[in-house]
């Protein structure tokens, strides 16, 4: 049999086994592969197969026997199987709705994996699944087969850690640029898919809107060998803004806000990821968050009204006061113009 078929048969054999499988038993199960050659050649062949199974994440190990079980190869089932997630049918229905929305959007990476997961949810949730099906609209730029194909390629490249070569169109330049990028991850923000990775042209981590990619090719050489390692401290949230104050225009600063009135119970939803604590003497709630675009935060704060107070640092207090004065001057009452009679 060919190697792929043999590897699949090995996985099935080890998963069905209730006790360790010895080398002699393996040779009995695979007489054409491990018995038809010399002992040394057969052992080398199995070692190569075992190494590939380990590389694929199959936790196969050899144990020394004792009074209760024999020597042999065994699978660590705790490491192989994911723990059960205790979700109610209603929670499964919500998860199914979100997955269906992503799947029917026309452009979502990992569509085959998502379809398989939804079939599993459908089996367990049964009648609790939502009707009718839902759809997530991503906007005109996000539709079309090219974007869907690019997302699938980038999904695979991120998983296998293979660099990509692409032609990219930036709104800041009239001409296209050739980029070799090590893809670290993908992010969906406000309907736009963004690739984050190390750009060899710019010699640093950069972001690329996927709909602006004109051509894309994944490195196919040595497909089982990663081309790069993702930095241990990498987070897509550090590069792809979800909120106006996260755009990387300025140096990072810590800003403290005080929320009062109706905004107090909404603190966590208004400023996700921020540090939220009760204010002294029950005077509302304090929100501390990192900001790289102060004007974006201050505009948002002014939209929230008088129950949102900017407390620190001094620059933030001064800037929000100046911004409020400009708004008042622009929209305040103008002095009456004397009527002119002919």
Q: State how far Cα 29 lies from the chain centre.
A: 42
Q: Per DSSP, which regions of 12-124 are E strands?
A: 60-63, 72-75
d(CA 230, CA 46): 31
Contact between 45 and 34 (Cβ < 8 Å): yes
Mean of per-residue pLDDT scores for the chain:
81
Banded model confidence at residue 123, pLDDT cuts 50, 70, 90: low
Count of other CB atoms within 10 angstroms of residue 321: 12
Q: Which of 10-24, 116-130, 132-146, 202-216 has the lowest mean pLDDT?
A: 132-146
Q: What global pTM score does this model have? A: 0.49
Say what the pLDDT of residue 137 is: 41
35-64 residues labelled b (16+ CB within 10 A) or e (exposed)? eeeeeeebeebbeebbeebeeeebebeeee
> What's the token pair of residue 230?
């993702």
User: What does the pLDDT look like over 36-78, one tens digit per residue?
Assistant: 667 788 888 888 888 888 888 888 888 887 777 788 888 887 7
Say what the pLDDT of residue 105 is: 63
d(CA 118, CA 138): 20
Contact between 107 and 143 (Cβ < 8 Å): yes
- DSSP assignment, residue 124? H
d(CA 243, CA 232): 24
What is each CA distance from 48 to 14, 34, 52, 153, 273, in whole angstroms?
16, 12, 6, 29, 46
Q: Which of 152, 217, 123 is nearest to 178 (CA)?
A: 217
Read off φ and ψ for residue 156, nearest 5 degrees: -65, -40
d(CA 293, CA 19): 60
């Amino acid at each position: 049999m060919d190697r792929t078929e043999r590897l699949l048969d090995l996985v099935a054999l080890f998963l069905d086994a209730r006790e360790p499988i010895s080398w002699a038993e393996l040779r009995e199960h695979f007489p054409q592969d491990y018995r038809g050659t010399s002992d040394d050649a057969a052992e080398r062949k199995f070692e190569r197969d075992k190494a590939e199974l380990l590389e694929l994440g199959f936790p196969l190990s050899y144990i020394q026997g004792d009074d209760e079980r024999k020597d042999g190869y065994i699978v660590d089932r705790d490491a192989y199987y994911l723990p059960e997630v205790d979700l109610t049918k209603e929670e499964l229905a919500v998860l199914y709705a979100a997955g269906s929305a992503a799947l029917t959007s026309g452009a979502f990476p990992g569509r085959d994996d998502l379809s398989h997961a939804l079939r599993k949810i459908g089996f367990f949730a049964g009648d609790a699944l939502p009707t009718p099906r839902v759809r997530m609209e991503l906007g005109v730029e996000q539709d079309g087969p090219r974007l869907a194909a690019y997302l699938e390629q980038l999904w695979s490249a991120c998983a296998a850690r293979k660099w990509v070569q692409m032609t990219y169109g930036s709104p800041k330049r009239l001409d296209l640029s050739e980029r070799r990028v090590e893809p670290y991850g993908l992010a969906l923000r406000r309907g736009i898919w963004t690739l984050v990775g190390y750009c060899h042209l710019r010699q640093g981590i950069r972001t690329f809107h996927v709909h602006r990619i004109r051509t894309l090719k994944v490195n196919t050489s040595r497909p089982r060998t990663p081309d790069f390692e993702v930095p241990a401290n990498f987070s897509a949230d550090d590069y792809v803004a979800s909120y106006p104050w996260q755009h990387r225009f300025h140096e990072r600063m810590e800003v403290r806000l005080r929320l009062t009135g109706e905004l107090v119970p909404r603190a966590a939803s208004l400023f996700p990821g921020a540090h939220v604590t009760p204010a002294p003497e029950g005077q509302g709630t304090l929100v501390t968050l990192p900001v790289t675009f102060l004007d974006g935060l201050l505009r948002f704060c002014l939209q929230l009204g008088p129950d949102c107070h900017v407390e620190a640092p001094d620059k933030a207090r001064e800037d929000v006061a100046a911004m409020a004065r400009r708004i008042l001057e622009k929209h305040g009452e103008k002095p009456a113009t004397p009527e002119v009679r002919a």
